[in-house]
Amino acid sequence: MIAALSLPRSPTRLLWRPVAAFLDLMKQGLIDRAAPGRRYRIPIHAGAGIEDQILTLRADPDHPGHHAPQRDGLGQLHGLLGLDALFERADAQVRAAQSRPALGSVRALATWPAAGNW
């Protein structure tokens, strides 16, 4: 175990989600590298909401032909549409549906046709 802990490790790097999405769009050819200075809005659907960030394509003066995204100010968070809130609403709907008598229960089957539910 000590030998495993002493193995050389690569440095940990933090990659921000909008930058990762931007780099993937560049890799797919969906961002024109010939247009440095162009701004792109990158929305990310996250747990707390829609994270909205504007990134600008910049050419690296020290490395010809290399382009990278640059953050253009603070992003915004639109919290009403977050995945956490959607999951909570879905869970509430499932719990509400489970609290009603199920159609497959004996009581529901016995009373269902009599109530004119055909």
Residue 66 is given by DSSP the state -
Taking the complete model, does pTM exceed 0.85, yes or no? no
93 located within any domain: yes
How many Cβ atoms from other residues are within 10 Å of residue 104's Cβ? 7
- Structural domains of the chain, count: 1
89 located within any domain: yes
9 located within any domain: no
* Tens digits of residue pLDDT in 72-102: 778 888 877 788 888 888 888 888 887 766 5
41 located within any domain: yes
51 located within any domain: yes
Q: Which residues of the chain have pLDDT under 70?
A: 1-10, 12-14, 100-118
To 5 degrees, how large is the angle CA 54–CA 58–CA 63? Answer: 150
